[in-house]
Amino acid sequence: MRQRQAQRRGRLARLILGLIVLLPLSWALGQDDQDSGFDDIAIPETRLPLCFGFSGIDDLRALAVCDALRLDQTVRARELSEQWLREEPNSAAAQFALAEVLLTIEGNMARALFHLNKAEELTGYQSMEEALQAGNLQWHYLTLSQLSYVHQLMGDQLQSLAYLESINRIYGQDVESFRGWPLIKLQQYEAARASANAVLESSTSDRERARAWNTLCAVELASLRPLEDLAVCDMAVNDDGSESVASYDTVYLTNSSEVALSLLRMDDAEDYLDRATRYLNPDSVADPWIYMLYLKMNQSRFDEAREALDRMMIWRDQQEPIVSVMNRAEHFLVSASFLLLAGYAEDAVKLTSTALNQPDRNGSYSADDAQKDSFAALLNMMANATQYQARLEEIATLDRLDAMSARLAAQSFKFNAWRAGRRAASLFAEFEVLQNRLRPYAPLDVHIPEWVEPEIIGLVGTGVMRNILQQAQANGAFQLNAGYYHAYATEIAALENRREEVIANAVQALSQLPQEEALLRGRVAARLARALYDSGELQDALTWFEQSYRLDPSLMRRLGQSIPVILREDGSDVAAEAARFLARSPRFEEDPNGLLLELSATPDLSACLKTRQGEALSCYTMSAATDKSSKDNARELVRSFHTKSFGLGYDISLAQRSILLGSSVILSSQSNSSLRDRGDTLLDR
């Protein structure tokens, strides 16, 4: 479940008092007409336009700011609000107006909070009568509402609840439906359950009831023991079986997909996400394409994952700036995950470093910032380690002197991987966090793909993880599918070099894990293949090497492991040089019983990895450059073969990869129209 359900609270709460109109202009006009004797002339009703959610605001400066916002004249809105504040620094209305521009247009929460605090200092009323007498009722109410909202976004849930209580005490507004999520963030699950039940007993509002069901669902999922069905969480989407706004709402549909995943109902999860992608919602921090991309990657549906990446970028470009601030790190991390699989590890390093250093919010999930940082650090470690392996592959094609300097340069990636790993380990140090991480698709936490989570074992230590794994099993974390337990046990045994345990657990994992867990199954298969190979069971080992490679071509590079091969070349100078380079590659080890790695110079230069039965696993062909030596041609062949064989084969240009880093938070939704114009061709296929 996610923090994003509170995204709308600021606007919805403001609309509650928006029903209060100080003096409708139509009433005054009606009185004048009656006095003039024009009783039979119908006078159309006229109302002041909504401004910050109110229909009764008549301050001309406020209306000018609101008009600019309505017309998407964001720079003018900023200038008008700043000028207003310069001329009237003691105006609560001016303080609030600038805070609203900073928050909703620029996504600058810290500065918005500063001005909201100033507005509160200038009002500070303890009753509605006092606010009315001062003529600042709207501004005081709006300030309290936004302070509750901003404090929740910034992680101070106690302050958020305190401001909700102030709204209830001073204005008599029922805010119970907004209390559930801060209580969940504080892990006060029983209080959250009581709050949600109170809403269901008293409210007839579709949105309030949907939020209440959503809260109950999150409370149930907080337990390590999985639910038997989706009954509670289904109500968040379709209360009492009736069609509601939640049936097409981005938040509730993505929440429901998370629930389905936690119950290992992958088809249901994909269906919910598919429904969510049909309704573009710029105001929602939930980007369903993020989770669709994770889902496709998990299942090795790489072509569809590439399409999901394209769609995700289009969705991101449409989001409001405040939303872009909220889920920017999530976009970086899922993009980095895809680039890591696709063979662009160095770009994944940049994306994860940026996400790791983001000073903003923790995205659309309910976990705290530390968990976002832990995933970013973990993925950064993997990216650096993978890029180090890619450099070792390149070094295998260099002459001795060049190789020495290149090896020294490559050490920076190794060091950065170690440093990121230490940081990730410190963030994963809490027992409860680790135990909940072991549960498949752990709810209420940052989303870490199941194929990534085994990396945590090497960071924390096999002894610690073995104990936590046993306790998680006893607590029912693997009740729905024991294959995940055996997958973790396989990883622990592999790191401890216990071959028999690896084989026993891997066989169990592969027989029980859902078929949709393709990347995780690929990792288990790789561990099984190595254990069988080291035990002398060569034929079975080759079968699992092949299976692992088909499921995840980049895995051997990420694990820093090699594939046993028979090098066969056609006797040409180029093929002979290429064979020499490949023999030094960390991805291959010569073995007379290995897979086939064939090299040829006719008619074109080619390298092809095949099964023992001659079925191609990965092939690369290029034309020989006539102006280059045999060694240089061989060097290019081997490097390109590594690139294609241990990635997804997608050619993503530098310009396209740079787009993944995003644009300015301030300008992303207003000025960057180029991405909108490109549509589905954002990343050319």
Contact 102, 115 (CB under 8 A): yes
DSSP 427-438: HT--HHHHHHHH
What span, in angstroms and rounded, lies between the C-alpha atoms of 207 and 11? 13
On the question of pLDDT at 204 being above 50, the answer is yes
On the question of pLDDT at 41 being above 70, the answer is no
| Domain made up of 1-173: CATH architecture | Alpha Horseshoe (1.25)
What span, in angstroms and rounded, lies between the C-alpha atoms of 150 and 203? 25
On the question of pLDDT at 2 being above 50, the answer is no
Note the pLDDT of residue 369. 63
Per-residue pLDDT tens for 439-452?
A: 888 766 678 899 99
Across the chain, mean pLDDT equals: 83
Note the pLDDT of residue 382. 97
What span, in angstroms and rounded, lies between the C-alpha atoms of 544 and 550? 10
| Domain made up of 562-645: CATH architecture | 2-Layer Sandwich (3.30)
On the question of pLDDT at 3 being above 60, the answer is no
- Region(s) of the chain under CATH 1.25.40.10: 1-173
On the question of pLDDT at 111 being above 60, the answer is yes
Note the pLDDT of residue 665. 34
Q: Is 651 left (phi over 0), alpha (psi -120 to 50) or beta?
A: beta
Note the pLDDT of residue 667. 33
SS (H, E, C) 92-143: HHHHHHHHHHHHHHCCCHHHHHHHHHHHHHHHCCCCHHHHHHHCCHHHHHHH
Note the pLDDT of residue 233. 63
Amino acid of residue 72? D
Note the pLDDT of residue 364. 52
Q: Which residue has the higher pLDDT, 153 or 308?
A: 308
Note the pLDDT of residue 56. 75
Note the pLDDT of residue 426. 85
The band of 7, judged by pLDDT with boundaries at 50, 70 and 90, is very low
List the single range of 87-96, 326-335, 344-353 with lowest mean pLDDT: 326-335
What span, in angstroms and rounded, lies between the C-alpha atoms of 610 and 590? 14
Q: Mean pLDDT across the stretch 208-224?
A: 75
On the question of pLDDT at 8 being above 50, the answer is no
Note the pLDDT of residue 462. 95
On the question of pLDDT at 513 being above 70, the answer is yes
Q: Mean pLDDT across the stretch 224-253?
A: 58
On the question of pLDDT at 229 being above 80, the answer is no
What span, in angstroms and rounded, lies between the C-alpha atoms of 176 and 159? 15
| Domain made up of 369-558: CATH architecture | Alpha Horseshoe (1.25)
On the question of pLDDT at 681 being above 50, the answer is no
Note the pLDDT of residue 19. 36
On the question of pLDDT at 165 being above 90, the answer is yes
Strand, helix or coil for residue 382: helix
List the single range of 26-30, 293-297, 605-609, 651-655 with lowest mean pLDDT: 26-30
List the single range of 486-490, 654-658, 660-664 with lowest mean pLDDT: 660-664
On the question of pLDDT at 470 being above 70, the answer is yes
- Region(s) of the chain under CATH 3.30.160: 562-645
Cis amide linkage into residue 603, ω under 30° from 0: yes
Note the pLDDT of residue 225. 53
List the single range of 37-41, 76-80, 120-124 with lowest mean pLDDT: 37-41
On the question of pLDDT at 300 being above 80, the answer is yes
C-alpha distances out from residue 622 to 598, 607, 641, Å: 14, 9, 10
Structure tokens at 633: 């041609």
Strand, helix or coil for residue 605: strand
On the question of pLDDT at 23 being above 80, the answer is no
Q: Mean pLDDT across the stretch 639-645?
A: 96
Note the pLDDT of residue 28. 29
Most confident stretch, 153-157, 180-184, 272-276, 499-503: 499-503
Note the pLDDT of residue 668. 36
Q: Which residue has the higher pLDDT, 397 or 258?
A: 397
Torsion of CA 637, 642, 648, 652, to 10 degrees: -60
Q: Mean pLDDT across the stretch 66-81?
A: 90
Most confident stretch, 103-107, 181-185, 548-552: 548-552
β-strand partners of 606? 600, 621
Amino acid of residue 252? Y
The band of 357, judged by pLDDT with boundaries at 50, 70 and 90, is confident
Strand, helix or coil for residue 353: helix
Per-residue pLDDT tens for 577-631?
A: 999 999 999 999 999 999 999 999 989 999 999 999 999 999 999 999 999 999 9
What span, in angstroms and rounded, lies between the C-alpha atoms of 682 and 676? 9
Q: Which residue has the higher pLDDT, 306 or 223?
A: 306
On the question of pLDDT at 222 being above 90, the answer is no
Whole-model pTM: value is 0.78
What percent of the chain lies above the pLDDT cut of 90? Answer: 53
Structure tokens at 311: 């769609």
The band of 684, judged by pLDDT with boundaries at 50, 70 and 90, is very low
Q: Mean pLDDT across the stretch 514-531?
A: 97
Q: Mean pLDDT across the stretch 42-46?
A: 45
Residues with Cβ within 8 Å of 420's Cβ and at least 6 positions away in sequence, in order, are: 352, 356, 377, 378, 380, 381, 384
The band of 572, judged by pLDDT with boundaries at 50, 70 and 90, is very high
The band of 24, judged by pLDDT with boundaries at 50, 70 and 90, is very low
List the single range of 55-69, 245-259, 337-351, 566-580 with lowest mean pLDDT: 245-259
